[in-house]
Structure 1
Amino acid sequence: MDLSANHLSGQIPEGIPDLLGLHSLDLSDNHLTGKIPADIGLLRSLESLDLSRNDLIGPIPTSLSSLDSLGHLNLSYNNLSGKIPFIDHLTTFNDPSIYVGNLNLCGSPLQKNCTSLVISRNEDEEEDEGGNDGMLWIYIGLVSGFLVGFWAVFGIILFNKMWRYAYFRFVDYLFDKVYVMVVVAISKFRRNLVKMKLRLMGALLATNN
């Protein structure tokens, strides 16, 4: 059964392992997602299996190792992960190109050691947790600083009458100063606008004469 390069999507049908007389299955070059069926090992007559160039995820089913009739296997360029079940009949497939393009696969026949992959994942998780903890402490520091600063000023104004009067006098002074600056700016703008109108009218009159 050859269904390659047909833009198929979704998961591999659960009924595939029921096709006990199937000798060849080619689903390559599609957009299949999800996991390889765990009971795919029921296809005892299968001689060729090509699931390459899809978006399959998860581990390679251990049941594949029981397909003694399997002579051709290609699982390359997916998103498969975990340790390759390099046991029983799968030990005859010692070509790394069968599994190439699956960045999270490890173990024989690939040169990637599963132990190093686990350590790398743990380090990434620790870095992520450390980064999150760092940001959390930054936020806590900012909030604490704001609260301390706010209550230091507000507490003095609230409980000290002299400071409270001084604070409100300062606020009134700032308000008056800003108000005067705005009024002066508006007056100056209006005067300049009147001058521009007069100049424009004079230029028009001179042109008409």
Structure 2
Amino acid sequence: MDLSDNMIYGEIPEELTSLVGLQSLNLSKNLLAGRIPSNIGDMKWLESMDFSMNQFSGEIPPSTASLTFLSHLILSYNNLTGQIPKSTQLESLDESCFIGNELCGAPLDKNCSANGVIPPPTVEQHRGYHLLEDGWFYLSLGLGFMLGFWGVLGSLLLNMPWSIAFPDF
């Protein structure tokens, strides 16, 4: 079932998960919001699921781990949080299937804490070069302006033939 790119909005109805024999479900590029249905794992024969580029929030339902035939899953660019359920199927997927979310756990490089919440970043992760907070930036900006401005204006003031020729140029 391909309902992608149709401007569908609202939540996924729970009744959709009663389509047990469905093999492919593509709801990408819509305006769907809310949570992914908790009983999505009831769709045992599902091989492909694409929920990318929507506005889903919350966690990936744990029942997703019971989708043993799932070989193609894309949940990228939503507002999903928490830990990716542990299953061989989900852990074998590429990281790109989950980008654009705040998820942790395999196959991503982000480790989860014991309760599945992403640990807050350490100070070292936030350290970096902040251009507008650096005092050296303002000092070099001032010196560069002063040297450039007075370099042009000073040469015109000190050299009379140049100051006469400059307006004609």
User: The TM-score by the shorter chain falls in which range?
Assistant: 0.5 to 0.7
Between 1 and 2, higher relative CO (CA 8 Å, sep ≥ 6) is seen in 2
- 4+ residue segments displaced more than 6 Å: none
**Matching of residue 97 in structure 1 with residue 107 in structure 2:** no
Higher CA-based Rg: 1
Q: Which residue of 2 aligns with 1:119?
A: 120
Q: Which residue of 2 aligns with 1:24?
A: 24
Distance in 2, matches of 1:78 and 1:71, equals: 20
Q: Which has the higher helix share?
A: 1
Aligned ranges for residues 6-45 of structure 1 at < 5 Å?
6-45=6-45
Distance in 2, matches of 1:68 and 1:114, equals: 23
The DSSP-based 3-state class of the residue aligned with 1:119 is: coil
| Count of aligned residue pairs for this structure pair | 119
Percent identity at matched positions? 51
The DSSP-based 3-state class of the residue aligned with 1:89 is: helix
Structure 1 contact 10–31 (Cα < 8 Å) conserved: yes
**Matching of residue 107 in structure 1 with residue 105 in structure 2:** yes
The DSSP-based 3-state class of the residue aligned with 1:73 is: strand
Q: CA RMSD in A?
A: 1.7
Report the alpha carbon displacement of residue 73 of structure 1 after superposing the two structures with TM: 0.6
Q: Give 5+ residue unaligned stretches, structure 2.
A: 122-169
**Matching of residue 71 in structure 1 with residue 71 in structure 2:** yes
Structure 2 contact 82–118 (Cα < 8 Å) conserved: no
Distance in 1, matches of 2:45 and 2:118, equals: 35
Q: Which residue of 1 aligns with 2:52?
A: 52
Q: Give 5+ residue unaligned stretches, structure 1.
A: 121-209
Report the alpha carbon displacement of residue 88 of structure 1 after superposing the two structures with TM: 3.8
